[in-house]
Amino acid sequence: MKLFDVEWKENIFLHDLTKKLPWKDNSVDYIYCSHTLEHFMKDNGRYLLSEIYRVLKRGGLARIIVPDLGIIIDRFNKKEIMAEDLVNCLEVFEQETKTTSKIKKIFNKLYQFPHRCMYTEDRLTHIMSEIKFLVTPKKYLESNIESIEVIETEERTKNAIVVEGIK
């Protein structure tokens, strides 16, 4: 399958995450969702979390990683981020700067996937708990998913909320 001029392996499954997940109820052991949820409007993000819960087996686990709004706000309050730079730090739209790579400038003209909903750890935990997940904050490579090191990179967990929810 080819998407974004990338040839995807056959074991990579592409799906519109605003729609019902294509798996049966209680059929999935693990779901790894890294830097995805923040690109959805609030209601669509909650819907995705509900769908993840639906397809997980009892005792199944979802690992969710999103940028940490609390860290951004703390940096803003400490004046490490100036007011005029706050929106760019939130990544609610793609803004090109002097350090933006040529490839990203080209990509930005074609596709923009801005952040549409940001989370603090307390809020994400609360939302997942409302859906009935048993939620535990985690750190890089701290996981109940076997071989997490195969898919997780430290860079994606920096300045991020990492939680695991068990059904």
Are the beta carbons of 62 and 53 closer than 8 angstroms?
yes
More confident residue, 14 or 93: 14
Domain ranges of the chain: 22-82+116-166
**What global pTM score does this model have?**
0.83
Most confident of 16-25, 82-91, 95-104: 16-25
Both tokens assigned to 109: 């003209």
pLDDT of residue 84: 85
Q: What is the pLDDT, as a whole number, of residue 143? A: 97
| pLDDT interval class at 11 (50, 70, 90) | confident
What does the pLDDT read at residue 4? 55
Residue 31 phi/psi, 5-degree rounding, is -135, 130
What tokens were used for 113? Answer: 């996937």
Record: fold of 22-82+116-166 = Rossmann fold (3.40.50)
pLDDT-derived band at 114, boundaries 50, 70, 90:
confident
Distant-in-sequence, close-in-space partners of 142: CB < 8 Å, separation ≥ 6: 162
Token readout for 2 is: 């080819």
Question: Quick check: 112 pLDDT over 70?
Answer: no
